[in-house]
Amino acid sequence: MKFGEHLRSALIKEYYWYYIAYDELKRALKTDFVAEPVPSYVKSRKAWTEDDEKHFISLLESELDKVFNFQRMKSEEIVGRIQESEKDVNDVISRLEESSRRQSVRSSIASPSDEDFMVLEQVLSDIIADVHDLAKFTQLNYTGFQKIIKKHDKETGWHLRPVFAARLKAKPFFKDNYDAFVVNLSKLYDLVRTKGNPVKGDSAAGGSQQNFVRQTTKYWVHPDNITELKLIILKHLPVLVFNPQKEFEEEDTAISSIYYDNTDTWELYQGRLKKTEGAEAIRLRWYGGMKSDQIFVERKTHREDWTGEKSVKARFSLKEKNVNAYLCGKLTVERIFDKMRKEGKKSQEEIDNLEQLAREIQYRVITRSLKPVTRSFYHRTAFQLPGDARVRISLDTELSMIREDNLDGRQRTGDNWRRMDIGVDFPFSQLPPEDVERFPYAVLEVKLQTQAGQEPPQWIRELTASHLVEAVPKYSKFIHGTATLFPERINLLPFWMPQMDVDIRKPATRRFGIERPLASTSLSANETPEDDDSDDELDDEQQFSNGRRGDRPPNGQLARDDLFADTDGNALDIEERIAVQPLPGDEDYPLYDSDDEYMDTYELEEARRVGGMYYYRQLLKYYGQQTGIALVAGLKALIPRPRPTNMPPPEQRGIAVMGDRRTVKRFTAPKGKRIHVPVRVEPKVYFAAERTFLSWLEFSILLGTIAATLLNFGNDYITFASSWAFTILAALALVYSLMLYVWRVDKIRKRRDVKRVYYEKWGPTVVGIGLVAVIMVNFGLRMREIGLTEGGQLGTGRGSESGEL
């Protein structure tokens, strides 16, 4: 679909006259045809002149003024409506409080009815819909201006983009922040929904909590859907405001974290990526701007389900001026908690636990030479009932990862615990491109604390199964930032990295979201359909914000219906539920790099970096494996057998669903790197491998016993040959099972997703065929001997008879 067609189908009818006149601007780019006589099949246009440029710029300016003025007027109108609704809500609430105080006394003030609250709720819902429509209006018009400027520069050869960028900055209709609207609407809607009885509690309960045990699921949200998602959530949960008395400021929602690691081994990165038991992440976090004096020192510890424990995040607070002294060991833990102990606000047991945590973190930082490597920054909008952490939803926008290391000779942090040349000034334009990674999506986290057998609310299940979000289990800001900011040092990549250039937007498959009575389009407002010229490339900003368009399967119900079910230690998590879904007709097709390519893409590159004899040994091993693979492939090609029809490679990336068919393309890692596929390993996997080895051992002993019995009690060559055959078969089975067991344990320990770890089709087949062959040969030789013996006896008998005659 071309953008002009998309604009006509996606616009809101009430705003029809205020959209960019995209078709008119497109026609203005076409000059008249040349009047000179030319062949009928040749049509050329006049060259673009300065008058044409002035005419086009005047049209463009008028369109920009029209859109900017309407957006500003509509925004002011929404502000006025919110203020008017706030007065109405306060009036109804005051009447409710007055009537409750004078229940025993006659009062002329009538208590508000349910109808009053219903009317207020309808008014607020209409305002919410207006905010949603205005957000879509600005996104669609901004895309229209970008597209027409790009078309102008390509068709005319005159470069207008740099000049018009300054005009857009002067009238930034697309930069209107709707967070203040969301906060105000959330407070009013919560009052109306609860009929003047909102949930009471400490809004800062989450901030004062020391240990967190939650069931968390993460999703990516495209920028087109952020405002709509916030408006949907606020209808069910209020925005969590830590200080309701303070006027809303964007800086208050900023969260910054400094992650530490050993820059030689990257042990914390490797542990968190592989999800090994006891893997830790150590970070320092603060809320708000750089003037914040309270720093939280946090440690996240991963626990496997089979341990019976839950992953936990523990933290304690520290003054900013004491951070450097604490990390280098100059400040003792006892001095940190002296004031807390004197105040007596916490119990002695709580203080002892915090001191133990502080000692452990300080010991790890010093002994493991942990240094600051990655900073994560984002603005967080949290939705939660005050004092009630059973359901908590957070949406992190403007997510950025920034380098904090001094590895390349540049002194970013120096001897300090964080760099000071940046603050919370997104998008950090003062930084060079290699120092910052601006994540193109928002991150939605749904955190639940449900009891056994209890399911989350239905609206959460519908939200997480909708087209507005894309599930990315186990996504980590620390892992993503470290992998992208240190490409020369990190060779093991998370599984979501190859999907970064695939557009996560999906068409709406069912009615969900902020809706108007009017028909709406299933495409997003900031969609970038193809221009008239299909070979046009997206401009830099659109490439940054939208990624590359790709075919994606609809966000169907694959494991979504039971996504939030309370699971026990043996239940599958979301990665495994997706992994166990087979592809029709091709169950063994890998989605990521398998272990077969491991030598090619990872170990050989590592050996080349090491050099010396180790590299030559690995190279010889590599060529030996390639030769063996080539020989096996050649022998397979010579064997006559039915051969599959060659199909063209699929054009889609990932899994694309079309009716009953699925097309798959494997994600491959860059050369020298490997994609880490999450593999669940429990102690019972080791026990299963050991039981399998013991079964092979039992079978080998049985064969050896048979061989020894035949050898000791037989007195002919057939028994002797059979005993040797059983002995050889038993020895081969024993050696094979031992090698297989050692190989399996090694792969399980390294968490490799190798199919032969879980099943083996060649060993039992060969042993079974060998056993049948030995028995059949023994039976055949014995029958042959019996036949020869009977024949000899028969010949001897006939000779005797003839002699007697």
Mean pLDDT, the chain, rounded, equals 75
Domain-located, residue 194: no
Domain that includes residue 133, residue range: 3-180
Q: For the residues of 609-663, what is the DSSP string, one character each?
A: HH-HHHHHHHHHHHHHHHHHHHHHHHHHHHS----PPP-PPPSSSEEEEETTEEE
CA–CA distance, 755 with 736 (Å, rounded to integer): 17
CA–CA distance, 142 with 165 (Å, rounded to integer): 12
DSSP 455: P
CA–CA distance, 124 with 130 (Å, rounded to integer): 10
Domain-located, residue 134: yes
Residues 632 and 668 in one domain: yes
Sequence-distant (≥ 6) Cβ neighbours of residue 619 within 8 angstroms: 604, 607
Residues 502 and 622 in one domain: no
Residues 171 and 303 in one domain: no
Tokens describing residue 452: 């056994």
Residue spans of alpha helices (H) in 333-388 = 333-336, 338-343, 348-367
Residues 285 and 367 in one domain: yes
Report, as residue numbers or ranges, the catalytic residues: 477
Domain-located, residue 613: yes
Domain-located, residue 60: yes
Tokens describing residue 108: 């002329």
DSSP 413: S
Contact 207, 255 (CB under 8 A): no
Number of compact structural domains in the chain: 4
Contact 32, 45 (CB under 8 A): yes
DSSP 33: B
Domain-located, residue 107: yes
Residue 545 pLDDT greater than 70, yes or no: no
Domain-located, residue 294: yes
The amino acid that residue 784 corresponds to is R
Residue 519 pLDDT greater than 50, yes or no: no
Residue 37 preceded by cis peptide, ω within 30: no
CA–CA distance, 305 with 576 (Å, rounded to integer): 14
Residues 706 and 604 in one domain: no
282 sits in which H/E element: strand 280-287
pLDDT tens digit string along 401-428?
999 988 888 888 888 899 888 888 888 8
Band of pLDDT at residue 579, cut at 50, 70 and 90: very low
Residue 669 pLDDT greater than 90, yes or no: no
Residues 389 and 512 in one domain: yes
Residues 337 and 475 in one domain: yes
Residues 491 and 342 in one domain: yes
Beta-bridge mates of residue 282: 299
pLDDT tens digit string along 164-203?
888 777 777 777 667 777 878 888 888 877 776 666 655 4
pTM recorded for the entire structure: 0.68
> Strand (E) positions, 607-677?
654-658, 661-665, 674-675
Sequence-distant (≥ 6) Cβ neighbours of residue 477 within 8 angstroms: 257, 376, 378, 399, 401, 443
Beta-bridge mates of residue 189: none
- Three-state SS string over 689-735 comes to HHHHHHHHHHHHHHHHHHHHHHHHHCCCHHHHHHHHHHHHHHHHHHH
pLDDT tens digit string along 297-324?
999 888 776 666 677 788 888 888 989 9
Residue 370, CB half-sphere, CA atoms under 13 Å: how many? 26
End-of-domain residue from the set 530, 550, 576: 576
| Interval 364-372 mean pLDDT | 91
Sequence-distant (≥ 6) Cβ neighbours of residue 513 within 8 angstroms: 228, 232, 466, 468
Q: What is the pLDDT of residue 580?
A: 40
Beta-bridge mates of residue 662: 657
Residue 427 preceded by cis peptide, ω within 30: yes
Residues 769 and 708 in one domain: yes
pLDDT tens digit string along 746-757?
877 776 655 555
Q: What is the pLDDT of residue 247?
A: 65
Q: Which of 475, 649, 665, 647 is nearest to 552 (CA)?
A: 665
Angle 425-428-434 (CA atoms, 0-180°, nearest 5)? 155
Residues 332 and 400 in one domain: yes
Domain-located, residue 109: yes
Domain-located, residue 185: no
Residues 501 and 565 in one domain: yes
CA–CA distance, 581 with 577 (Å, rounded to integer): 7
Residues 619 and 562 in one domain: no
Beta-bridge mates of residue 400: 377, 438
